[in-house]
Copies of this chain bind each other. A is one copy, B any other.
Amino acid sequence: MNKFYVGILQFKPLLLKKEENIEKIISFIEGESPDLIVMPELAISGYFFRTKKEVERMSERIPDGKFFNVFKELSTRRKTAYVIGFPEKYRGNVYNSALYITPRGYGVYRKVHLFYEEKKFFKPGGSLNSIFRIKNFKIGVLICFDWIFPEASRTLALKGVHAIAHPSNLVLPGLAQLGMRVRAIENRIFTITANRVGIEKRGKKKYKFTGRSQIASPAGEIILSFDENEERLKIWEVDLKSTEDKFITPLNHVFKDRRKKIYLV
């Protein structure tokens, strides 16, 4: 019962080709049934939008539409949970969101810390409450640039998550991979970073997405990793139960040893 399998799908979404991207994703994951599959940020839309109109055209409402229904059907049938990034239309705004959907329910995380020009296209999310259950485990969700704020992972860890699913579109080489290793160590949780690959251009500007998706353990080990270019699903067993032990030595509990009264926030 404590066995828990996590999949990461690293691939190259095509900018503004929602139908194709969803089909491509399905073809990668259709035959697999781990407990959880984490996919990149904005996986159905691509990243480097030119206009707000483009973002709106790619955006989806939850729980309406084909995107939601495809993953709901798949989750129910395969008994697998999915975390996948998409542009979300919600109450007149567009968010850089991740859908989490399990055989029993669903929810949305809206990216709290927007990176660079995302601020022109998206409204930032207003909470770090995106936590769902699979078996007896709690999984939290962050997106990409959220990694650089230790407070974000800490908040989810203090709320009891065993792992953070971390859909990403990383462009700074290797920094987030390093950072999410340290988030795993300092909170004694697993971090699951699903990054994309490929290049997107807009005029003379160019984003190279850096791949190297990974799972980091509470000991700071990279227990699953991808290279910079590969497009595939990989699955690995993860001992989520072990994260309930917050002692890094017999006398050091990474939460209880905190000296909250003397920290500045």
Contact = CB atoms under 8 A, between A and B. Distances in A.
Interface string A187-202: 0000000000000000
B264 A178 contact: no
Query: Max chain B CB contacts within 10 Å: which of A126, A158, A159, A178?
Result: A178
A145 B252 contact: yes
Contacts of A26: none
Given A148-B254, A154-B150, A178 B220 contact: yes
Nearest to A145: B252
Given A149-B258, A186-B179, A159 B264 contact: yes
Contact of A257 (B113, B258, B264): B113
Contact of A128 (B149, B155, B262): B262
B182 A151 contact: no
Contacts of A250: 116
B186 A154 contact: no
A117 interface: yes
A260 B263 CA distance: 13
B149 A257 contact: yes
A124 B258 CA distance: 12
A178 B175 contact: no
Interface residues of A, number: 43
B264 A158 contact: yes
Interface string A140-180: 00000100111110110011000000000000001100110
Interface of A: 112-113, 115-117, 119, 124, 126-128, 145, 148-152, 154-155, 158-159, 174-175, 178-179, 181-182, 185-186, 220, 248-252, 254, 257-260, 262-265
Given A155-B264, A179-B182, 17 more contacts: A113-B257, A115-B249, A115-B252, A116-B250, A116-B251, A116-B252, A124-B259, A128-B263, A148-B185, A148-B186, A150-B154, A150-B186, A151-B258, A154-B264, A159-B264, A174-B220, A182-B182
12 contacts: A112-B262, A116-B249, A116-B252, A126-B262, A127-B262, A128-B264, A149-B186, A151-B154, A154-B263, A155-B264, A178-B182, A260-B265
